[in-house]
């Protein structure tokens, strides 16, 4: 996610259509299909930039009238206070050349909690846990068709490609694909911005959440739907979207 403030108007269907129309003007078939598939993925699933970059060709499957997409989620889990104290004891023991069991922490609890929270922001204070999230969408969906067209193209044109969006370089009139290396986050952002300089990847994520909130209103169902669709850790994050975009329906009086 880029550090851009969401102070612009939300994405609209017409705005996305203009981007797709502009993409149709790209002469190179690979580049044309790639950017349209990327927009289809972003607007359908609202996944984070890294989650789209990690997609492999094998993570997609067309079966029984549906397109199945399996995302790899990299979730950050902050370590607890006990884990911080354990780590602190190990560091003290190493410095003093004594047994960990002989280390005594005599700091006030309030000081330890302050240090622990700061430690959680460092690389040592959290761990990354990978999880799989499988989604499906009807193949007749307009965005699913864009994804499938690119997916089939990749299997036929670049069967050696491991990643759905592989890195590569232009060579004379062609394009050389690096099959085992995905595009970088900066590259994928540039691909989208060539169609609309005012958008960024996370804006599509917000747009997916907004669509759910507008469709389901200010309800707990909307909170759950957004949490599950975006694979959020907490309901509170989903509630922010519901509060911002949902409209409460007042019961009709008779």
Give me the count of residues in the chain: 254
Query: What pLDDT was estimated at residue 173?
Result: 64
Cα-based distances in Å from 205 to 4, 52, 199, 211, 227: 13, 12, 11, 10, 12
Query: What is the DSSP code string of 3-69?
Result: S----SPPP-HHHHHHHHHHHTT-SSHHHHHHHHHHHHHHHHH---HHHHHT-BGGGEEEETTEEEE
Query: What pLDDT was estimated at residue 1?
Result: 40
Query: What pLDDT was estimated at residue 7?
Result: 59
Query: What pLDDT was estimated at residue 3?
Result: 41
CATH of 13-70+135-245, one of 3.40.50.150, 3.40.50.720, 3.40.640.10, 1.10.443.10: 1.10.443.10
Query: What pLDDT was estimated at residue 174?
Result: 67
What does the domain layout of the chain look like in residue ranges? 13-70+135-245, 80-119
Give the pair of three-digit tokens for residue 181: 């290396």
Integer Cα distance of 236 and 99 in angstroms: 43
Q: Whole-prediction pTM value?
A: 0.77
Which positions of the chain have pLDDT values less than 70?
1-8, 171-174
Query: What pLDDT was estimated at residue 58?
Result: 97
Query: What pLDDT was estimated at residue 4?
Result: 44
């Amino acid at each position: 996610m880029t550090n851009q403030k969401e102070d612009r108007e939300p994405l609209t269907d017409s705005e996305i259509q203009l981007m797709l129309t502009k993409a149709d003007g790209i002469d190179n078939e690979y580049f044309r299909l790639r950017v349209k598939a990327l927009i289809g993925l972003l607007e359908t699933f609202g996944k984070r930039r890294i989650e789209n970059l990690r997609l492999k060709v094998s993570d997609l499957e067309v079966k029984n009238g549906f397109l199945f997409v399996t995302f790899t989620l990299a979730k950050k889990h902050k370590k607890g206070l006990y884990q911080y104290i354990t780590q602190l004891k190990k560091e003290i023991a190493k410095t003093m050349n004594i047994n960990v069991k002989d280390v005594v922490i005599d700091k006030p609890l309030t000081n330890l909690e302050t240090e622990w929270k700061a430690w959680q922001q460092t690389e040592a204070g959290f761990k990354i846990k990978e999880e799989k999230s499988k989604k499906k969408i009807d193949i007749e969906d307009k965005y699913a068709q864009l994804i499938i067209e690119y997916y089939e193209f990749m299997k036929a044109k670049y069967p050696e490609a491991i990643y759905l969006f592989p890195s590569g370089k232009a060579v004379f009139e062609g394009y050389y694909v690096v099959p085992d290396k995905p595009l970088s986050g900066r590259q994928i952002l540039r691909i989208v911005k060539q169609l609309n300089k005012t958008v960024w990847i996370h804006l599509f994520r917000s747009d997916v959440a907004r669509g759910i909130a507008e469709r389901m209103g200010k309800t707990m169902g909307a909170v759950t739907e957004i949490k599950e669709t975006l694979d959020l850790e907490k309901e509170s994050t989903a509630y922010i979207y519901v509060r911002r975009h949902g409209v409460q329906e007042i019961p009709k009086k008779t």
